[in-house]
Amino acid sequence: MTDVKIDISESPFESSPVVPEQFDEDHVIKFRCYKGIECFNACCSNIDITLTPYDILRLKNRLDMDSSEFLRRYTVPFEFGKNSIAGVKLLPVEGGTACQFMTEEGCSVYDDRPTACRYYPVGLLSLRRADENFDRASYALVQEDHCKGHLEDREITIRDYRKEQGLEEYDEQGRGWRRLVLKMKSAGPAIGTPSKKSLQFFFMACYDLDRFREFVKSEGFHDTFEVPEEELQTLYQDDLALLKFAERMILQIMFGEESIPRRADALERRARRRQEAEQLKAELDGDD
């Protein structure tokens, strides 16, 4: 195991120095959670939930909200490391530790609950071998005293538990972002300290999707990048396509992995645009 680096920052063991026992999907756990269990809502009363970009997309659409407004009302940012990329966590109720979506009846956004809520009490661990540049999934079990689901008489494999919790789709849609986070951490000094601008770009492209769409629609974007009209129309309407495109842009801007063609005349176009803006301003000033 010495050649395996374990990245546990996305797991429920972030603050624990102990590396948990790892399982594969065939591992059988004993667990059941249901409304009426004596500890009902205990897990949602003291939250520490990191959101993936797909979690945010599902929740903001469910709440019929713009991504910026969702981030303001329901999340709090954190840094994955010093001067590193940011993540976002669910913001608890004011002055408390409970989730804002918790009600007496349970989770008010259940069908769109985040990945971490679906996984609990299983933890997803991202592993990366020193000689590989892709991550492998591995799992662990979180056993907290308050959670009585472990005492229930139901056995289920982690594979079936993931299916039951709708995690295949969530993991599929969250894979690109997890890869970016791992890549960022493992790249370390190789890419130097990211500039404030690129960190801000990472935040917008990952978490503030509606603002990222405005960026893709902007003249500045069109002056710089050459994206076919058909693809642009898809990006304007399809959130999932936009999320994938955002991941490509981050790879291009932060890691130099070019996949979005740049215009050969980008500099001239931007200079022309600036000149037009200055001309217009001068004309308007002249009218005063």
Distance of alpha carbon 182 from alpha carbon 133, whole angstroms = 9
Is 156 a binding residue for ligand SF4 by CB under 6 A? The answer is no
Q: Which amino acid is at 48?
A: D
Is 101 a binding residue for ligand SF4 by CB under 6 A? The answer is yes
Q: Which is nearer to ligand SF4, 57 or 235 (CB)?
A: 57
Is 39 a binding residue for ligand SF4 by CB under 6 A? The answer is yes
Q: CA nearest 122: which of 1, 20, 5?
A: 20
Q: Candidates 34-42, 69-77, 154-162, 226-234: pick the segment binding ligand SF4 (CB under 6 A).
A: 34-42
- Quick one: tokens of 125? 């661990």
Minimal distance in Å, beta carbon 75 to ligand SF4?
Answer: 12
Candidate residues 4, 86, 91, 147; the one interacting with ligand SF4 per rule CB under 6 A: 147
Distance of alpha carbon 273 from alpha carbon 279, whole angstroms = 10
Distance of alpha carbon 177 from alpha carbon 197, whole angstroms = 19
Minimal distance in Å, beta carbon 114 to ligand SF4?
Answer: 6
Candidate residues 11, 12, 23, 44; the one interacting with ligand SF4 per rule CB under 6 A: 44
Candidate residues 8, 47, 206, 242; the one interacting with ligand SF4 per rule CB under 6 A: 47
Distance of alpha carbon 67 from alpha carbon 3, whole angstroms = 40
Is 120 a binding residue for ligand SF4 by CB under 6 A? The answer is yes
Minimal distance in Å, beta carbon 270 to ligand SF4?
Answer: 43
Candidate residues 27, 148, 269, 273; the one interacting with ligand SF4 per rule CB under 6 A: 148
**Binding mask 78-97 vs ligand SF4 (x if CB under 6 A, - otherwise)?**
--------------------
Place of tokens 């020193």: 130
HEC secondary structure over 137-161: EEEEECCCCCCHHHHCCCEEEHHHH
- Quick one: tokens of 215? 């960026």
Is 207 a binding residue for ligand SF4 by CB under 6 A? The answer is no
Q: Which residues contact 182 (CB under 8 A, 6 or more apart)?
A: 7, 126, 128, 135
Candidate residues 57, 85, 88, 99; the one interacting with ligand SF4 per rule CB under 6 A: 99
Is 122 a binding residue for ligand SF4 by CB under 6 A? The answer is no
Candidate residues 8, 29, 43, 235; the one interacting with ligand SF4 per rule CB under 6 A: 43
H or E segment to which residue 78 belongs: strand 75-79
Place of tokens 């308050």: 146
Minimal distance in Å, beta carbon 87 to ligand SF4?
Answer: 16
Q: Candidates 112-120, 179-187, 190-198, 277-285: pick the segment binding ligand SF4 (CB under 6 A).
A: 112-120
Is residue 91 within 8 Å of residue 76, measured between CB atoms?
yes
Backbone dihedral angles phi then psi of residue 130, each to the nearest 5 degrees: -60, -30
Q: Is the peptide bond before 121 cis (omega within 30 degrees of 0)?
A: yes
Is residue 129 within 8 Å of residue 6, measured between CB atoms?
no
Q: Give the total of residues touching ligand SF4 (CB under 6 A).
A: 23
Site for ligand SF4 in 48-67 (CB under 6 A): 49
Candidate residues 107, 137, 142, 260; the one interacting with ligand SF4 per rule CB under 6 A: 107
Is residue 135 within 8 Å of residue 127, measured between CB atoms?
yes
Other Cβ atoms closer than 10 A to 1? 7
Residues that bind ligand SF4 (CB under 6 A): 33, 37, 39-44, 47, 49, 99, 101-102, 107, 109, 113-114, 117, 120, 146-149
